[in-house]
Amino acid sequence: MTAVLCLQRLARREISASALLDYYLTAISSRNRELNAFLHVDETGARRQAQAIDHRRAKGERLGPLAGLPVAIKDNICTANIPTTCASRILKDYIPPYDAHVVNRLREADAVIVGKTNLDEFAMGSSTENSAFGPTRNPIDPTRIPGGSSGGSACAVAADFVPVSLGSDTGGSVRQPAALCGVVGLKPSYGRVSRYGLVAFGSSLDVVGTLTTDVADAALVLGVIAGPDPRDSTCLRESGEDYFATVEQPLTDLRVGVPREFFAAGLDSEVEQAVRTSLSIYERLGAKLVEISLPTSPHALAVYYLVATAEASGNLARYDGVHYGSRITGTNLLELYEKSRGAGFGAEVKRRIMLGTHALSSGYRDAYYLKALKVRRLIKADYDAAFQRCDVIAGPTSPTTAFALGERANDPLAMYLADIYTIGANLAGLPALSLPCGKSQAGLPIGFQLTAPVLQEERLLRAARMLERQLRAKP
């Protein structure tokens, strides 16, 4: 069931919030051991929330727009009195005393918080294999990865554990797993959704996003979590919109930009065929395809892994066993730091901290970090120029379908290339969305990505819904 259908049935009292929750808890208990999508299920707390909503509904009280809807939260988003581990040993015992802003908004909307989903440690990865608590598996084919870093959140929706989950997207961490699991992943504009309570990885890149069954659900949930928050200085003052009210309205005279750089070497032929088929659907709907160029995009991967690791190096310095994190004592303070961080962080997190520290070190900062910031401005300028000629930009979400567990575990560069089409939107602060557009011969989902100008989520969602309706109408 989609979130919209769940809410309709709840409003008509065809099903209670408690019964709906039981349905999903049963699904979780039957298959989560195999898939490892959830790290923590707050069954007691969720039942308490669902029962309270049923009681209020029976009394005729006014309820929020998500009343009774089960929602999962990525485990790098703080939840009061529920563990938030970031899938790391260094935070294995951390229970926040407060809710993140997005969790507050969900609770105010009367959503039911089911639990916390698995991720690559501190959201650093593209496969959810870097979790300290074991990898998540793709529900379509459990021998394959679900994508990352929000792999647990994508898996939870694809496996029908919940109709909606929240993730975070620093370089594609919502859209890439959405593509590989066959669900819809939305990354809003930077600043559209508050980052208060999101454990920081790359502060100028991180965005809270949604994973849902369809585009209408994404529009509904974004309308709840978006909007200003004085606790986050990077959150924009513009209020969120009722995206759900307009999502079914097709766009007229739509211009779809197709970057020639997105259809070069490295793109799987089945992925390309599915994406081009989707582009032809837009043409049949009256849209105009416009060939565009993003000439700086070949440098985006290098820029991202300099900017993101530099920011991670500073953000993760606080986890030292003294300020935050599990502590292993030593004979002196330096030894305490070394032991605590050495045992607490996994290999990928250590790799990125070291890369970022090196990029910021004396003698290298100008050559690496500052140069990356200059190229980042050029990438943003490429998008600005492209949007003078088109309304949205389309292409593949991932260059391949889901690969096998362990296939790239010892090849970091090959793993990083999984984000080659998604990182540009993060570097430029743009809203982007991935929706399923077909399957490979092996039955693996293929994702189609749309990107819109900053703060044009309404346009993005309407354009995506146009395509989605046609794809789902196909026999």
Which residues participate in catalysis according to the annotation? 74, 149, 173
Residue 399 is given by DSSP the state S
The number of CA neighbours under 13 Å toward the Cβ of 85 is 22
Distance of alpha carbon 387 from alpha carbon 290, whole angstroms: 11
- Rounded to whole angstroms, the Cα distance separating 37 from 54 reads 27
Place of tokens 């292409």: 395
**d(Cα 41, Cα 295) in Å, to the nearest integer?**
45
Cis peptide leading into 233, omega within 30 of 0?
Answer: no
Complete edge-to-edge strand list for the sheet that includes strand 207-212: 38-41, 112-117, 70-74, 164-169, 207-212, 184-187, 432-439, 445-451, 392-396, 255-259, 288-292
CA distances 10 to 13, 69, 222, Å, are 5, 9, 20
The answer for residues whose C-beta is within 8 angstroms of residue 393's C-beta and 6 or more apart is 256, 257, 258, 259, 292, 294, 383, 386, 387, 450, 451, 452
Torsion sign, CA atoms 160, 161, 164, 169: negative
**Cα–Cα dist 349/344, whole Å:** 10
Strands 207-212 and 38-41, how do they pair? Answer: unpaired
Provide the total of helices (H) and of strands (E) in the chain, helices listed first: 16, 11
CA neighbor of 309 nearest in space, from 170, 415, 173, 177: 170
